[in-house]
Amino acid sequence: MAYPGSFDHQSNVNPAQLTRPGSDNGGADARALYLKLFSGEMFKGFQNNTIARDLVMKRTLKNGKSLQFIYTGRTTSEFHTPGQSILGNDQSAPPVAEKTITCDDLLISSAFVYELDEVLSHYDLRSEISRKIGYALAEKYDRYIFRAVTRGARKASPVSMTNFEEPGGTQIRVGATTNDSDAYSATGLIDAFYDAAAALDEKGVSQDGRVGVLNPRQYYTLIQQVGDNGLVNRDEQGTSRQRGNGIVEIAGIKIYKSRNIPFLGKYGTAYGGTTGVTSPTNTGDFVGVTAEDASDATTGVNNDYGTAAELGSKSCGLIFQKEAAGCVEAIAPQVQVTSGDVSVIYQGDVILGRLAMGADYLNPAAAVELYVGASAPSAF
């Protein structure tokens, strides 16, 4: 029995009679009009560390379209005959050759930011756009330099005078089968590194500045499988392996990881047809992006970085010394933003990233390409 003024816990209120302030025009979603608070975090998409710029010979280009590099080959020694004049080597040694690296056309990445959108927006997108523009330029920078090293590994030396030829590039097979999965074999990679070190020594390449660049999955495979044989810094044995940066060097070659090397016909990771490699789901286009054409016949490209077909589908790593390739910069990577009258006319700003550079191989003897399969990729 309910007394006057008391609340009957057994009575029910018809849901249709409830006032739902979050409902949009009485719609079914009772939270439609509630404020969506900004968390202060933005998913930044794929970001990649670029490394190639500091691993090769970089020069600044001013007041010219290209930069010349001079090669000098070997000469000979001989015993002096008493009374005979010394007028130089009768074979015109040492031979001299040149390599010219041309600046490519201006590379740009841009976005237009409408001022009203900035006023109405509750988060700052301008700085994030600037970073993404910088990443786009840096990624292209790395890819072209690594392609130049790849090209050099397949070339003979520019010094080719009879009896004074200099050594050319080196290609080393990883594994013993024809399977692409050999590219992920820790044992095969270690053997290839020692073989590459021996080849560089035999060709008289300096030990200073030797590096190896592998696909991320190759790198982590080494960390998992070879951590107990001295490749991981003993002072950081525990934490380095967990952080994924524990491999210091193999045969005196410092190892880096990058998704921008040519890898089985792609950039990033190639899963298709690679047995023994577990492919993650929802990889998107950022994993295994097919290498684009970038020959000197491509618009804006003045150096030959090769087409996708020329790169082939068997390259799986690079080992090189800094003299393997060179890079010339006319305009270093930079970001510009419009202002003043331009901003007034268009009621917004253009954020522009620009870069003018070119890369090519220099000393093929200092470049080593790792590959899988029965035969080495062809020169281009």
Neighbours of 265 (CB within 10 A): 18
Average pLDDT over residues 249-270: 90
Task: Please check whether residue 327 is in contact with residue 304, taking contact to mean a CB–CB distance below 8 angstroms.
Answer: no
pLDDT > 90? residue 191: yes
Q: DSSP state, 286?
A: T
Nearest in space to 200 (alpha carbons), one of 160, 142, 250, 247? 250
Q: What is the pLDDT of residue 350?
A: 92
Task: Please check whether residue 259 is in contact with residue 216, taking contact to mean a CB–CB distance below 8 angstroms.
Answer: yes
**Ranges assigned E (strand) in 74-228:** 96-102, 107-114, 170-173, 210-214
Q: What is the pLDDT of residue 333?
A: 85
Nearest in space to 42 (alpha carbons), one of 140, 139, 121? 121
| SS3 of residue 250 by DSSP | strand
The domains located in the chain, with CATH, are 52-77+94-371 (3.90.1690)
Work out the mean pLDDT of the chain and round it to a whole number: 85
Binned at pLDDT 50, 70 and 90, residue 72 comes out as: confident
What crossing angle do the helices spanning 186-202 and 216-225 adopt, rounded to 10°?
Answer: 100
pLDDT > 90? residue 209: yes
Binned at pLDDT 50, 70 and 90, residue 17 comes out as: confident
* Non-local CB neighbours of 98 within 8 Å, separated by 6+ positions: 68, 69, 70, 71, 158
Q: For 105-147, what is each residue's pLDDT tens digit?
A: 999 999 999 989 888 887 788 888 888 888 889 899 999 999 9
Percent of all residues in the chain with a pLDDT value above 90, rounded to a whole number? 49
16-20, 64-68, 338-342: the lowest-pLDDT one: 16-20
Q: For 218-252, what is each residue's pLDDT tens digit?
A: 988 887 775 555 565 555 555 544 554 556 688 99
pLDDT > 80? residue 156: yes
pLDDT > 60? residue 2: no
The Cα 201–Cα 205 span in angstroms is: 6
CA–CA distances in Å: residue 155 to residues 3, 20, 22, 158 = 100, 74, 70, 9
8-12, 15-19, 30-34, 215-219: the lowest-pLDDT one: 8-12
Q: DSSP state, 157?
A: -
Binned at pLDDT 50, 70 and 90, residue 42 comes out as: low
Binned at pLDDT 50, 70 and 90, residue 44 comes out as: low
The Cα 193–Cα 253 span in angstroms is: 8
Q: For 278-335, what is each residue's pLDDT tens digit?
A: 677 776 666 778 899 999 999 999 999 999 999 999 999 999 999 999 999 999 888 8
pLDDT > 60? residue 273: no
pLDDT > 90? residue 104: yes
Task: Please check whether residue 365 is in contact with residue 325, taking contact to mean a CB–CB distance below 8 angstroms.
Answer: no
The Cα 258–Cα 85 span in angstroms is: 57
Tokens 């990443």 correspond to 135
Stronger pLDDT, 164 or 364, i.e. the higher one: 364
- Rg over alpha carbons for the chain, rounded to the nearest Å, is 30
Q: What is the value of pTM for the model shown? A: 0.85
Q: What is the pLDDT of residue 128?
A: 84
Average pLDDT over residues 84-95: 82
Nearest in space to 379 (alpha carbons), one of 150, 197, 188, 60? 150
